[in-house]
Amino acid sequence: MSRAEVTVLGAGAFGLSIAWVCVQRGARVRVIDPNGVAAGSSGGIVGALAPHTPENWNDKKQFQLESLLMAGRFWAEVEDASGMTAGYGRLGRVQPILDAAGLALANQRAEGARVLWGDAAEWRVDRAQGDWSPASPTGQVIFDTLSARVHPRQACFALAGAIEASGGEIVRDGAVEGAVVHATGVEGLAAMTAQHTRQVGNGVKGQAVLLAHEAHDLPQLYFDGLHVVPHADGTVAVGSTSERYFEAPASTDAQLDDVLARAVAGVPLLGGAKIIARWAGVRPRARSRAPMLGAHPFEDGAFVANGGFKIGFGVAPKVAEVMADLVLDGIDHIPPEFQAARCL
């Protein structure tokens, strides 16, 4: 490839999505990651693209809504260009309603969704039915039609394939040329913290388990703090823990056993499912708890996209759009609460 116009450091969800949109807009793009594609937390197994609740609306929730609504087209274009699957499916999500107070709140949020989501998606109260439903003391559940899923690792490799098929380059080592975007996850947050007087962000470990259970056309479930996500390949992912303090970032332990036990208690149908994989990784959490986007705070002329903790794949299409606007055209559509200054 001739001299790159954009160099993206990091081949996770944010870095690859930004690179893909820049390639689509005609830029010569090089992605550099010494560890390869999806080597960090973006190579996980859960992939729940779930919306914030439709209340107390703010720029962060609006940004996520727009991204979730972009996702179908975004991933279809990735799959068309790469010939690979990202595992995307917008099949909704079911949550149990535990008591009368929860029912009142669910109905209130249903009205909020009518106002805030309009005709784009629905949040409604339904009766619990069938085996694929978490235990609900009230016999009722919340069903929203906005939630979707991807298979994180497959999605990253599909993005990489789309970039390369369209003329971009993905390497483990190479020249850093043109506009530079730092999308380096936990390592990037640590590097910025080392250049500052306070913590810019930190890594939060998560553990998840992948089960052999065919439910590919069913909605994801959320209960007892767990995401249960059926994938298109005949597996179901369950996760995850949220560990700020840990010693072994890539190993699983009894905390994951507890996650699985709680999942089976909520959905007994999973009790006999074979465990295919146990996964652990460390996710980047910016100090502001929102993604950190825009001008890099410590490197003149460079850019940063980091801190996609728990919502990284869900906001990736919109992150890619606004970062490409900024990097390629100098147009800043990034919400103020996502600016790096909020973490400094």
pLDDT digits (tens, 9 = 90+) for 209-226: 999 999 999 999 999 999
Question: What's the confidence (pLDDT) of residue 343?
Answer: 80
What's the angle, vertex CA 219, arms to CA 214 and CA 221, rounded to 5?
A: 95
How many angstroms separate the CA atoms of 156 and 128, rounded?
35
Question: What tens digit of pLDDT does each residue of 232-286 get?
Answer: 999 999 999 999 999 999 999 999 999 999 999 999 999 999 999 999 999 999 9
What are the pLDDT digits (tens) for 44-76?
Answer: 999 999 999 999 999 999 999 999 999 999 999
Q: Nearest CA to 183 among 50, 315, 73? A: 315
pLDDT band at 340 (very low <50, low <70, confident <90, very high): confident
Contacts of residue 167, defined as CB under 8 A and 6 or more positions apart, other chains included, come to 1, 23, 28
Q: H/E/C letters for each residue in 83-141?
A: CCCCCCECCCEEEECCCHHHHHHHHHHHHHHHHHCCCCCCEEEEECCCCCCCCCCCCEE
Whole-model pTM: value is: 0.96
Judge whether 296 and 302 are in contact, CB under 8 Å: yes
- Phi/psi at 309 (5° precision): -50, 115
The first and second tokens of residue 163, run together, are 């970039």
Distance from C-alpha of 54 to C-alpha of 120, rounded to nearest angstrom: 13
Choose between 8 and 129: higher pLDDT.
8
